[in-house]
Structure 1
Amino acid sequence: MMHQRGKSLFFSFLVLSTLVSWSSAQAVTKSRSHSHSTRTHHVTRHITHHVRHTRRTRHRRVIQCVAFVQQSTSFKIHGNARDWWNRAKGLYARGNLPEEGAVLSFRGTRHMPLGHVAVVRSIINSRTIYIDQSHWGTNGISRNVRVVDVSANNDWSAVRVALRSNGNRLGSIYPTHGFIYARPEKAPSVVKHSTLIAANENFSNETASLPDSNTSVFETDAPNRGLR
């Protein structure tokens, strides 16, 4: 009788030990699973935060052409680039001769509906200038970019801009309004056309009549977005 009771107690102890071991194993498994899940969650949150931060940083690096000109000069003109020419009336002098510090105002086109503005950096002759600009085929600022007048009358109504990928080559023809000068409307000009012509005596350049605004010649290398 005592022998049977001992066997019964031993069997009960064995079952209880097995249950305790199984419960402990389950608890360890759940703990590891929770720990792994927690680590995965933290890593995912870190990656998501990094991607969002990178996107915000890239977005902040985009400087529109209007903002760049406003920050680089004393011009107080607002609105899209295509509106600067008309909004400058009565405030600033305008014309068709380049001057250092003036703004070259591009007309809006089908591919560049908001137009474009750039700052004249230097003048080489009556057909060639260098400009500083932003958001032209790239999100960043481009300095010392060559621009050539190809209008038939040398009035800067049609220009070609050096390609970003190869500064020795020029892009398509773009229509412009002309230049907005950093002086009151009735102030005298600081550059005479005869001076530019004298500096251009031995200079020759292919010229072209300004194409119709509907032609695709304006679209070939224009930025694929509305520039401001």
Structure 2
Amino acid sequence: MHTAQQGVLHTAQQGVIHTAPQGLLRPAFAMSAGTPILPVSVASSLSCVPFARMATGMNISGDARLWWSNAAGSYARGNAPERGSVLAFTASGGMRRGHVAVVSRVVGPRTIHIDHSNWGGPGIRRGSVMRGVVVMDVSDRNDWTAVRVQVGQDSGNFGRTYPTHGFIYNRPAGTRMMTAAAQRLTEVAEYPSPHAAQHHRLAAQLLDR
């Protein structure tokens, strides 16, 4: 498991560097922010959970739908994307066991790339590992509690909306991260957005159908 360490915060202003105190990490929207993604060798079909474990080194048990709750107390969680964090999907519709994916790049405040496994689609075999998949935040409050995922190999084609819990960060619970927004540093709390409950209710309704 990666622990929090002193990092460097870069703002949009050229040549301006802020040093983060112990326990605070680099900006969530910086291209170099976050923790490393480990190499994953795949010899056969792989589901999303073992892939996420191998790619991050996180020690979280249970089905993907349980990762958010099972990470509580061990790993920091929140609603801002960060490289190396795990995006935890809720159970919904035809995805009753949920899904987890590793953030490989933060493109902008509402667009990320993920690496994940066992996500079907046109020309994609179940159990395959896909890298650099585009995910868009379509939540009403820009809190990543509702997303659309690239379909197949076409980065311009997106499927239905999926509810998510948020992001599990590869650092101990209780730590916080800093984001650079509007050329100022903004602290992002660990707890999930209050608007997440709305999307979780929608997911529960889908499961009851």
TM-score (norm 1): 0.59
The structure with the greater share of residues assigned to strand is: 2
- CA distance 1:143–1:121, shift in 2 (3 Å): same
Q: Is 1:132–1:144's contact at 8 Å kept on the other side of the alignment? A: yes
Give the alignment of 1:174-213 within 5 angstroms.
174-192=162-180, 210=199, 212-213=202-203
> In structure 1, the residue corresponding to 2:176 is in which secondary structure?
coil
Q: CA 1:182/1:194 → structure 2, altered by over 3 Å: closer, same or farther?
A: farther
Between the aligned partners of 2:182 and 2:79, the Cα distance in structure 1 is 13
Question: Could you say which structure has the larger radius of gyration?
Answer: 1
Matched, 1:169 2:179: no
- Provide Cα deviations, 1:171-223, integer angstroms capped at 9, x if missing partner: 11000000000011111214345579xxxxxxxxxxxx85822359xx9xxxx
Distance, in Å, in 1 between the alignment partners of 2:129 and 2:55 is 11
Work out the number of aligned pairs and report it. Answer: 146
Counterpart among 99, 109, 115 of residue 116 in structure 1: 99
Q: Determine the C-alpha separation between the residues in 2 that align with 1:180 and 1:193.
A: 21
1:160 equivalent to 2:148? Answer yes
Once superposed, which parts of structure 1, at least 4 consecutive aligned residues long, lie more than 6 Å away? none
Question: Which consecutive unaligned segments of at least 5 residues does structure 1 have?
Answer: 1-59, 197-208, 220-228
* Letter paired with 1:133: H
Amino acid of the structure 1 residue aligned with 2:162 = Y
1:63 to 46, 64, 85: 46
Distance 1:66 1:191 in 2: 28
Aligned to 2:27: none
- Normalised by the length of structure 2, the TM-score is 0.65
**Cα shift at 1:107:** 0.2
The reply to whether residue 91 of structure 1 matches residue 91 of structure 2 is: no
Structure 2 unpaired stretches of 5+:
1-42, 121-125, 185-197
RMSD value, Cα: 2.3
Give the Å deviation of 1:104.
0.1
